[in-house]
Amino acid sequence: MTVKTLDILVQRSTNPRIETLDQNNLQFGKVFSDHMFVADYKDGQWDNLKIMPYGSLEFDPANSMMHYGQSIFEGLKAFRAEDGRVLVFRPDMNAKRLNTSAERMCMAQLPEEIFLEGLQALLEIDKDWIPTTPGSSMYIRPFMFATDNFLGVRPSETYRFMIIASPSGSYYSKPVNVKIETTYSRAAMGGTGSAKAAGNYAAALYPAKLAQEEGFDQLIWTDAKEHKYIEEAGTMNVMFVIGDQLITSPLTSTILPGVTRDSVLTLAKSWGVDVVERAISVDEVIEAATKGTLKEAFGVGTAATIAHINSIGLEDDKYVLPAIESRELSNRIYNYMEDLKRGRIEDSFGWNMSI
């Protein structure tokens, strides 16, 4: 992973802001490092690969991304290990998933080496921006959008791919109170739910706002047809421990294939846990919660790794789940994943890319 094969032009910032980095007051996604990676697609190929100073972009008012929404993104993290190494968690998975999303949104494919070497070049030049305070990390946001200036409805013929990086503080996710959504939908079969498409997020904001007004932190989406089966949380996949089984929805066209989801399932299987990917109904979850066999419920995603679900709301009822400290599996997974990502234990799965 350290061999450089691509020609990436480096334009260093003449006005570095690194001195302004306040490691003790980092929020999520507000501060960005000095540089960004950019590549442009036209005439069927990617060109102009460069690292340049972080800054504004200029758009033509007819830019088709703004009108018809061809825009996709990724999210991953880099960590500073105690021995000084920079570790990135499974970036190859994000490079692949970007292309799956691109295919669904009728956008250009990006060679994985552009993703990975662009990422590497950006982290090398901005390595001092990777925070070192306990629990902190560098959040990395690769994204691609249409750049044709044309109002006709057709796939853009030109695209831009970029990577920006944001030092983020300790992301301790408070246990969340979720609402099972039975009116609105995030994704329907055959739609774009399995693509990390910008528009999916826009469509989820209104129902999420309504839920927040009712006092919930997040939604659990259900199938668009009958609102009978659990899907995911919209920024996280969702898992349940019922009895001794770890259960999660299978990957369908309505579920985003999370890297964390894959990692957690792989890890749990390696520990001998009974892991099941199958459709899981709302009724089953509620029945298990009522009977006391629902031992754990949690969201899995890059931002939090594990977000414990404290309570589940369904229509006018609320089901409170067992105390967080009693949750053996999700706590064990969380500790293991954090240790692995930060290079404190052996990387037995070969998941870390070291820079």
Ligand X SMILES: *Cc1c(COP(=O)(O)O)cnc(C)c1O
What does the binding site for ligand X look like in residue numbers (CB under 6 A)? 75, 196, 232, 234-237, 256, 258-261, 301-302
Closest by CA to 317, choosing from 219, 179, 215, is: 179
Q: State in angstroms the smallest separation of the CB of 253 from ligand X.
A: 12
The residue among 156 and 254 lying less far from ligand X, judged by its C-beta, is: 254
Q: State in angstroms the smallest separation of the CB of 80 from ligand X.
A: 20
Q: State in angstroms the smallest separation of the CB of 295 from ligand X.
A: 22
Q: State in angstroms the smallest separation of the CB of 187 from ligand X.
A: 8
The residue among 35 and 77 lying less far from ligand X, judged by its C-beta, is: 77
The separation between the first and the last C-alpha atoms of the chain, rounded to the nearest angstrom, is 8
CA–CA gap between residue 19 and residue 22 (Å, rounded):
8
173 C-beta neighbours (distance < 10 Å), count: 17
CA–CA gap between residue 277 and residue 284 (Å, rounded):
15
H or E, element range at 317: strand 317-320
- Paired strand residues for 45: 42
Q: At CA 267, angle to CA 264 and CA 268, rounded to 5? A: 85
- Paired strand residues for 242: 245, 294
Q: State in angstroms the smallest separation of the CB of 280 from ligand X.
A: 16
In angstroms, what CA-CA distances link 154 with 66, 144, 158?
13, 17, 12
CA–CA gap between residue 32 and residue 123 (Å, rounded):
12
Q: Tell me the pairing of strands 159-168 and 137-146.
A: antiparallel
What values do phi and psi take at 110, rounded to 5?
Answer: -110, 120
Check: CB of residue 190 under 8 Å from CB of residue 253: yes
The residue among 118 and 234 lying less far from ligand X, judged by its C-beta, is: 234
Q: State in angstroms the smallest separation of the CB of 299 from ligand X.
A: 8
The residue among 42 and 141 lying less far from ligand X, judged by its C-beta, is: 141
The residue among 36 and 236 lying less far from ligand X, judged by its C-beta, is: 236
The residue among 91 and 118 lying less far from ligand X, judged by its C-beta, is: 91
The residue among 124 and 347 lying less far from ligand X, judged by its C-beta, is: 347
Q: State in angstroms the smallest separation of the CB of 91 from ligand X.
A: 11
CA–CA gap between residue 253 and residue 236 (Å, rounded):
15
The residue among 70 and 302 lying less far from ligand X, judged by its C-beta, is: 302
Q: State in angstroms the smallest separation of the CB of 275 from ligand X.
A: 16
In angstroms, what CA-CA distances link 344 with 246, 250, 277, 284, 302?
26, 31, 30, 38, 18
